[in-house]
Chains A and B, each alone.
Chain A
Amino acid sequence: MNGPAYASTLELMSGVILVCAVVTLWRRSLSAVVKALAVQGFALGAVALILGIRQHDAVLIVVACLVMASKGAVIPTLLGRVVTSSPTGREASPIVNVPASLVGAAALTFLAYGATQPVVALIPTTAGRFVPLGFATLLIGFFSMVVRRKAVSQIVGLLLVDNGIALVAFLATAGVPLLVELGASLDVLLAVVVLRVLAAQMWSEFGVLDLDQLRELRD
């Protein structure tokens, strides 16, 4: 892959990841949100693939395929099942409404550019320039976990955080060592499975998937 094409594809894919994060804030339909998450997973895999091809790094290419399979296919399918099994597949009443959330996302993106100055300064490569996009995705993930009250929305927020971190890891260091990478991906997959099991228990025992209904424990 030659220089300009490499840079622009990488930029496009990193941009798609951030756009998907914003889409999860914009759309209220949970199935649309899960689709955006799948697209984001594929884009993340594509980033790793581009870097792997560019650097002739076979390990990174394998990791890229694994990321596409788990974050682009397996995890969205798991989440999709929860969404279709519950009748109200919409985020009915987020604490912050949609226009305000989008403004919040813009502010967080600026914050991400500011906070990552030292990181970008340290990395001389083209890929390093896109690190703020990963941070922005991560912050939007936090934001959506705070303002959304559906169980599924919170899992989506967690996955946004995780995808943001993975993007930073790929762009900044071309991936952490393989053992750690595999362990981390496996842990995320397991966490989603556990959350799904808990959501199913919640649904079957109490008939709600809304976290506002869970308020037994407080001081």
Chain B
Amino acid sequence: MLALVALAVPFAAGIASAMAPWRRWVGWLSTAAIGVVLLCGVGLAVRVVHGLPVAALGGTLRVDALSAFMVIVIGIIGVLATWQSVRYLDAEITTGRCSRRHASLYSVLVLGFMTAMLLAVLAGNVGVMWVAVEATTIITTFLVGHRRTRGSLEASWKYIVICSVGIAMAFLGTVLVYLAALHVGHHLHANLDWTSLMAVSHQLNPGVMRLAIALLVLGYGTKVGLAPMHSWLPDAHSQAPAPVSALMSGVLLTVAFYALLRFKAIADGALGVAFPRTLLVAVGLLSLVIAASLLLSQRDYKRMLAYSSMEHMGLIALGAAAGSRLAIAAVLLHILGHGLAKGVLFLTSGEILHTEGTSEIAQVRALLVRRPALGGLFAFGLVALLGLPPFSLFVSELNMVRAETEVGLGWAAAISLLCMAVIFAAMMSHGRHLLFGAGPDGERAHKTPAIVTVPLVGALVGCAVLGVLAWPLAGLLRAAAQVVAR
């Protein structure tokens, strides 16, 4: 029931927003709708954390601890992003870059995006999940191109072409899993439900499953932003409006990763852990190395944040490769922590872009003096993102490395630490350039309205509380890790 509400509310709000030209209340309506989703996520989590999975619509929707956790992630990042969207659209309309009609299209698309993402994590069936993930590809294309500049057009073209190819490979992988399930036992009968696939995973044909999991890692990996199909990511993240970048980074990438986690559990059953692990380690390390090398000489702060998303996706791929309960719990905590920190940074950078008018690192100086609130948020966001305590990314990175060492992936953990050190140095130097220095003489410090800063401060505080106490999610993380870990 709660699962249905979580899907229906953003959908209905989307239809309502389509009715009228954009007014501020339409923007707040989206935030309220996603707030309801978040509450539903919490309600679902309370129900499934100690009990059995909940099903609705005859098994089309199925909620276990892992999906409940993902609903909460989607809800939190969604509330942050839709909150800031109001300000983004307000500014676009005031400057005349965007009509009220076009602005209401934005709200409709964001709510459509949220509905599709929620369907992906609530679906009890891999096929339906695939359809939902593909639907978000199409919706996001228009969100990336919302500003209608030459750059954003190029970014949307790259995005839809590369992601369509990736998602097509994931479909082929899904077809092969279905084929393998059809040939279990003597009767040709199978469906694509998670539960039935997991139940027969030990009997699936290994040859076919090897091909299938390779295609799935490559295919869903495209949407996660993992190498070698990552090239859409920096363009789309840097050209999209800031709230959309926050949504892509915190929600889109991680929901695709959720699909990978589910399929990995099935492949582990059919093939043993070694083969899926090798695949994930390979794409994870490659992503980390590429992200580190491109971050060193980055000139644009939004692209810098985009490559950092690629880095973090590489890290969670390595964590998932380890695959123990500790590793999966750390991966999930990292998904939430990264979503929060990166969300704060993207939303702050949107505000910086709006007030400074440029996204080049070299053109922005002394933010801490000139815009103390924005500069402070950016600084703390950066500290959280780079994995310094007390923020939760410190805890999750530490535990991922620990889990990797325990299963004999110590060498991969060492390489990842090396890449993280390079990235730390690179981002600190870019950040120092943006934040410090003396402001121009006679310029007074600009105020940033509380309506911008309050939710972002809240997100950072939440990230720190999670890091120190793991409260209130510890139980849910344990239960969710149990769903897919061995």
Contact = CB atoms under 8 A, between A and B. Distances in A.
Contacts of A119: 176, 179, 207-208, 211
Contacts of A191: 134, 137-138, 160, 164
Given A184-B131, A201-B153, A168 B165 contact: no
Interface in A128-155: 138, 142, 145, 151, 154
Interface in A187-219: 187, 190-191, 194-195, 198, 201-202, 205-206, 211, 214-217, 219
Interface centre among A169, A214, A219 (most CB of B within 10 A): A219
A129 to B, nearest CB: 14
A176 B127 contact: yes
B129 to A, nearest CB: 10
B157 A122 contact: no
Interface residues of A, number: 43
Interface in B165-224: 165, 168, 171-172, 174-176, 178-180, 182-183, 191-192, 205, 207-208, 210-211
B4 to A, nearest CB: 18
Contacts of A211: 157
B64 interface: no
A112 to B, nearest CB: 12
B298 interface: yes
A180 B134 CA distance: 12
B161 A195 contact: yes
A214 B157 contact: yes
A142 B134 CA distance: 19
A5 interface: no
Contact of A154 (B153, B161, B179, B192): B161
Contacts of B161: 145, 154, 158, 195
Interface stretch (B98-106, B231-239, B322-330, B342-350): B231-239
Interface residues of B, number: 51
A177 B130 CA distance: 13
B395 to A, nearest CB: 32
B210 A184 contact: no
Nearest to A164: B172
B156 interface: yes
A184 B175 CA distance: 12
A176 B211 contact: no
B236 to A, nearest CB: 10
Contact of B172 (A138, A198, A202): A138
A195 B157 CA distance: 7
Interface of A: 115-119, 121-123, 138, 142, 145, 151, 154, 158, 161-162, 165, 168-169, 172-173, 176-177, 179-180, 183-184, 187, 190-191, 194-195, 198, 201-202, 205-206, 211, 214-217, 219
Interface of B: 125, 127-128, 130-131, 134-135, 137-138, 141-142, 145, 148, 150-151, 153-158, 160-161, 164-165, 168, 171-172, 174-176, 178-180, 182-183, 191-192, 205, 207-208, 210-211, 234-235, 238-239, 294, 297-298, 303
